[in-house]
Amino acid sequence: MTKIKFTKMQGLGNDFIILDYEEYKKTGRTPSELALLLCNRHFSIGADGLIIIYPDVDCADIGWIFYNSDGSIAQMCGNGIRCFAKYVYDKGIINKKEFSVDTKAGIIIPKILDDGRVKVNMSKPILDPKKIPVNVENNLNFEISLNDRTFVANAVSMGNPHCIIKTEEDTKELALKYGREIETHKIFPEKTNVEFIKVLSRNEINLDVWERGCAITLACGTGACASVVACILNGLCDKEVKVNLPGGQLVIEWEGSLSDTNYDVFMSGRADYSFEGEIEI
């Protein structure tokens, strides 16, 4: 048996286990094996994902390794990157409030704000269907047919794929009923995250999410970003939008438009510690 130290954090209820790289190396296991083991809520710590600090990178100030609870690798996680940023700053691994992180989705730049929140430059949205990827000609307002109904959907990637569906129905009920079927639909060759949204005003939306590799979660940062981008491209929202998720609120900013999408998306929200501990594996 090997004993390792860990930290548990959460961003709006989306929770993560964080391991320093030296602790990870002690285990002799792959990140996928560790994610399956440690994220199990019934027999272990429990979390939506596993984050491993990866300090030895050349292209950024620091890197990370992120795996979903089902053992699959994820290109990006908005709530996870805020927790990661707060952790490496608080622990003195990084000694500046704004820094670069090497991720599977490219270089991401978080900034620790004076009020304790973390603001993250999530880079530009990906809107090319082939790069999202989604098997449609146009990523906006295409139909996706399921066993018992058809939805009008929008696809946006924030380094990971998202399917955004506007509705006036109960967003949580729809996510629970149709999330898995849409996640694994043949139109998405790498599967997808699924967001059901209700537009409250030009500056506020409600969102419930079915996360790829996790199922229902209390929040999804990249999902909030993708949803706001889709709303703006459809003329439903302005440049700064409050996104209400079951676990709390994020603020998403994007200066883009249908005629000019070449702008970065910014996400601001909390990241909080749950507890620290040791576990034998």
Task: Give the residue among 279, 281, 278, 273 at the shortest CA–CA distance from 8.
Answer: 273
Looking at 39, 83, 163, 220, which residue is catalytic?
220
Q: How many Å apart are CA 268 and CA 206, to the nearest integer?
A: 16
What are residue 267's DSSP bridge partners? 120, 252
Q: How many Å apart are CA 134 and CA 196, to the nearest integer?
A: 18
Q: How many Å apart are CA 70 and CA 206, to the nearest integer?
A: 27
Task: Give the residue among 121, 166, 127 at the shortest CA–CA distance from 258.
Answer: 127
Alpha helices in 50-107 (DSSP H): 78-90
Q: How many Å apart are CA 205 and CA 189, to the nearest integer?
A: 28
To the query of whether residue 77 is one of the catalytic residues in this protein, the response is yes
| Structure tokens that stand for 9 in this block | 């954090």
Looking at 39, 77, 214, 225, which residue is catalytic?
77
Contact indicator for 80, 214 with CB cutoff of 8 Å: no
To the query of whether residue 220 is one of the catalytic residues in this protein, the response is yes
Query: Which contacts of 259-262 are long-range, i.e. CB under 8 A and separated by 24 or more positions?
Result: 261/124, 261/125, 261/127, 261/233, 262/124
Contact indicator for 192, 154 with CB cutoff of 8 Å: no
Sequence-distant (6+) residues with CB within 8 A of 170 are none
- Residues belonging to the active site: 77, 220
